[in-house]
Amino acid sequence: MSQHSTDSTDPFDLAREAAAEIARRTDVERHDVALVLGSGWGRTADLVGETVTGFDQADVPGFAGASVAGHSGTMRSVDIAGTGRRALVFGTRTHYYEGRGVRSVVHAVRTAAAAGCRAVVLTNGCGGLRPEWGPGTPVLISDHINLTGTSPIEGANFVDLTDLYSPRLRDLAREVDPGLGEGVYVQFPGPHYETPAEIRMVRTIGGDLVGMSTSLEAIAARQAGLEVLGISLVTNAAAGMDAPLDHAEVVAAGKASADRIGQLLAAIVERI
């Protein structure tokens, strides 16, 4: 069942209101790039640059606090490695399974666009289907398959998703780390993990990574005119390939990889 809002208001109005509040709190008229930090990515903001301003995300119109372990409820304005450019870092995201509607899921990327960002980096913790991608492996998202049964786009707005995950930004990421792999990310609604049969289906339809976020945000980002880079952190093998799945292990894998993925992300963001 779709979680589209029946609200007749323009969803971009709330994004503009949130962007205005961010500008007020940060004393910066615009930001350059946005980061959405998924499970296991929380400490990476410290390595991107100096946090100039940080505040509770729930204090900004349209946002809620962190509701999932491994996420931070702090929104930050970060000076990117002394470049004078600013990154807007969202320490948490609203997941589709939280039941707050698709507008809430994509509010951060719409706010990023309203705040002046020209690119967004979407990160997540996910299950991996390739045996060579052990826990702690970062993987570029080359494409996605959206199995949520819904879309963030409302009305007859036909948005082209060809090259949704920017080839330019993926090439830039490989300049930083030539060994980065890439694959197709499959979003399930969650919050339950996938069954082994569903993972066999994912393999059949061409998926390499499975999770519960990112694709809806990426679609909304494309609609808003943002260039999109998606990076998954493989935190566990997908269902049926290894031991039973446990969210605490997902968080632990992220913590163990924090320095490596933080340095990778910092080097990428510096070049965007």
By the 8 A CB rule, do 113 and 12 touch?
no
CA distance 263 to 10: 38
- Is 194 one of the annotated active-site residues of the chain? yes
Measured between alpha carbons, how far is residue 224 from residues 11, 57, 126, 166 in Å?
12, 21, 25, 14
**Catalytic pick among 29, 98, 154, 194:** 194
Question: How many C-beta neighbours within 10 Å does residue 244 have?
Answer: 8
* DSSP per-residue codes, 129-164: -STTS-TTEEEEEEEEEE-SS--S--SS-----TT-
CA distance 242 to 146: 24
Catalytic residues: 194
